[in-house]
Amino acid sequence: HWTKEEIWQRLEPIMRNSFKAIWDKHKELNTDLRRAAFALALERLDTAIRAKGLV
C-alpha cells in the first residue's frame, strides 16, 4: 500500500497540471472555472473521438 506521502507526491502534479489547463481555458474564454473545465473536457473528448476516426 502507498503511504499518504506517496499518494500526495503522485497526485499533486496531476492536480496542478489539471488546474493550470482549466485556468488557461478560463482566461482564454473569459468565463468561470466551471465552464472552462467543461469546455476543456469537450475539447479532449473531441480529440479522442477524432483520433479513433469516429468523425
* Domain residue limits at 53: 19-55
DSSP single-letter state for residue 39: H
- Looking at residue 25, its amino acid is K
Nine cell digits for residue 21: 489547463
The per-residue pLDDT for range 11-39, each reduced to its tens digit, is: 999 999 999 999 999 999 999 999 999 99
Q: Establish if 48 belongs to a structural domain.
A: yes
Confidence class of residue 49 from pLDDT cuts 50, 70 and 90? very high
Query: Could you give the CA distance from residue 31 to residue 4 in angstroms, rounded to a whole number?
Result: 35
**Cα–Cα distance measured from residue 27 to residue 30, given in angstroms and rounded to the nearest whole number:** 5
**Residue 10 domain flag:** no
Residue 14 lies in a domain: no
| Residue 11 resides in a domain | no
Residue 30 located in a structural domain:
yes
Number of domains in the chain: 1
In-domain check, residue 31? yes
pLDDT of residue 55: 80
**Residue 26 included in any domain:** yes
Pairs from 34-40 (Cβ < 8 Å, separation ≥ 24): none
